[in-house]
Amino acid sequence: MKNQTEKATLKEEIRALSHANEINEHRYADILNQRIKLWHQSLQICVRLFKTTTSYKKIQSIETSKNKKEKEITQEELSLIYQEINEAFIEAMQELLEQYPSLTQDDLYYCILNYLQLSNNTIKVCMKAGSQSALTQRKYRIKKQLSDLSFSIIFDAKGESK
């Protein structure tokens, strides 16, 4: 009888702990979603800031040019683009790196260039990627590291106005 009472008490404790754990998991998920929403707002502010730079104008000229010669970029221009992306997106990139520490610097640039809704050809030029398949592989690798929500914010933003 004593054993049965102890088992019933333990079962009740387990049920209570399980319920508390569910509440904590739910609270954790809410906090995580709130953090991602704040990060998204930060990204939007960074975009507005980046759109004032000379690098953005250069990227837009690459994006809209029809001539292959106009799509070429010098090493100095590329360095300036990377520098201005670093300056404009510093907070957003740090937050992304905190959440997903295995991302590389190139992964972060790729994410930002995608968030800017640039074409694959422009991204290829800006990242000096050898082929489209290299970018596809990078995107696939990044997708495995990010949460679904973070990934969709970065890569599925085509219809969103920024």
Per-residue confidence (pLDDT) for residue 73, from 0 to 100? 86
pLDDT tens, position by position, 17-44:
888 888 888 888 888 888 888 999 999 9
Q: What is the dihedral of CA 143, 147, 149, 151, to 10 degrees?
A: -20
CB 58 within 8 A of CB 77: yes
The number of beta carbons lying within 10 Å of the beta carbon of residue 49 is 14
Return the closest-CA partner of residue 50 out of 83, 3, 85.
Answer: 85
Q: How far is CA 68 from CA 12, 49, 64, 72, in A?
A: 71, 28, 11, 7
pTM of the model: 0.78
